[in-house]
Amino acid sequence: MPPHAADMEAINVRLPLTDREGLFRLAIRDGRFASIEPQPEWIVSERHVPIGSLSLERLGAAAAIDLQGRVMLPGFVDAHMHLDKAYSLPHVGNRSGTLLEAIENYRSAAPSFSKETIRGRIVKAALNAASFGTTALRSHLDVPLMHSRELAMRTIEAALEAREMVSEYVGIQFFPMYYHDPGRERELNEFAAETLRMGIDGVGGAPHLTPDPAGGIDWAFRTALAFDRPIDLHTDESDDPEVKTIDILCDYVLRHGYAGRATAGHLCSLSAMEQGEADRLMGKMASAGIGAVTLPAVNLYLQGRGDRGNVRRGVTRVRELRKAGVRIAAASDNIQDPFHPFGRGDLLQIGLMTAYAAHLAGEEDLYEVLRMLTELPASILGLQDYGVSAGKPAGFVVLDAASAEQALQELPSSRWVYNKSRWIHASETRKEWADPHMA
């Protein structure tokens, strides 16, 4: 427990993932939820300081806080980011707006990025995510071994140093996108082994973009098994329904008992397939126990570029995957880089995009969207001790919203983030009218 840990209690808290209507009072001791109790009615208390308009310092010193009916969610979990590339857009463009040009341009520019530059981008992107309420995330890393080993290692070192720097704010898992070229496997084995020993968390990659996708998946499993690590692959990020490495990935997960330890991101081609084949694959994913991650912002931006007229959206079958029994999360993917010029690391924004792109806007759906930003990615990332319940470490975000609906309707910019035994960030929007009565 860090020395700044302070015990605290809060009243008039809404926990929409626990109970949609009710109010709660809760206590935090030694950085953990000590108790969470339903409140029969609204509490009026002089002793409890309203959370709004308190400086972070005063908030940190307050032992009793009134949330005034605001929503508290467990910290957002961003299951798929690219922190090392974030904010590189001014240096790397993408004129066609396609995935292939983004990859090519980034690859050409990579040698010009120093370790300090990459580390700075990772720190900035991670802290921005934390400021919006993300307490844990998984980032893929670009490791262009085809350029040189030194260049690939530069990103690994930058990432591990950056993780250390932000560890009091947000937890990070790193999955390098190892590029499997059958002709250069020995070099890759040696590099992957070293990075996994250095503290890299798992095996990433994008087999559908390599010369031998089946061989690439085989390599990923051999490596993951040898080091007992999870796997997270960019899977079928293509509009072409014939691209279906997910089929092979499922076979390997089933064969090696990797249920709960394998994740497939994107799954764009799944949305372009005819129904029968898509149903077969979604059923297979469910029986294999593969976690899925949809990246709506980047898919809407990059996919469908070749279509005229009825343009495909690229976003995978979110509702159907859910119905088939596949755990599916929504995540940020790229932020302000050649793969995606927008985004800011705010998972609530991604939640709204998911609601649009996947037609998830019914009353039940909104709660599911919030779960896709919290509990589901936490489970996919294998996070232990996650959630707002007694005994768990307190990591949460308070939104300036009175309900789940309002959180997605207003995307409130006023948020208060608590992690690792203290308030780590507060942002509050001041609204003033020239004529005060207009408020």
Q: Which residues would be at the binding site for Zn ion (CB under 5 A)? A: 333
Give 333 or 375: the residue with its C-beta nearer to Zn ion.
333
Q: Which pairs from 155-161 meet CB under 8 Å and 24+ separation?
A: 155/84, 155/118, 156/195, 156/198, 156/200, 157/115, 158/84, 158/115, 158/116, 158/118, 158/119, 158/122, 159/83, 159/84, 159/118, 159/119, 159/122, 160/198, 160/199, 160/200, 161/119
Give 123 or 206: the residue with its C-beta nearer to Zn ion.
206
Give 349 or 403: the residue with its C-beta nearer to Zn ion.
349
Closest contact distance (angstroms) between CB of 238 and Zn ion is 13
User: Which residue minimizes CB distance to Zn ion?
Assistant: 333
Give 236 or 333: the residue with its C-beta nearer to Zn ion.
333
Give 235 or 421: the residue with its C-beta nearer to Zn ion.
235
* Largest Cα–Cα separation, the chain: 73
Closest contact distance (angstroms) between CB of 136 and Zn ion is 17
User: Pairing relation of β-strands 291-294 and 203-205?
Assistant: unpaired
Closest contact distance (angstroms) between CB of 354 and Zn ion is 16
Rounded Cα gap, residues 280 and 324, in angstroms:
10
Can you read off the two tokens belonging to residue 425?
């960030």
Give 78 or 333: the residue with its C-beta nearer to Zn ion.
333
Residue with tokens 């890393």: 141
> How far is CA 105 from each of CA 91, 93, 233, rounded to the nearest angstrom?
10, 7, 21
Q: Is 168 helix (H, G, I), strand (E, B) or coil?
A: coil
Closest contact distance (angstroms) between CB of 333 and Zn ion is 5
Closest contact distance (angstroms) between CB of 433 and Zn ion is 43
Rama region for 385: left / alpha / beta (φ>0; ψ in -120 to 50; rest) = left
Give 333 or 337: the residue with its C-beta nearer to Zn ion.
333
> How far is CA 74 from each of CA 151, 229, 388, 389, 426, rounded to the nearest angstrom?
37, 26, 6, 9, 16
Closest contact distance (angstroms) between CB of 208 and Zn ion is 12
- The one-letter code for the residue type at 334 is N
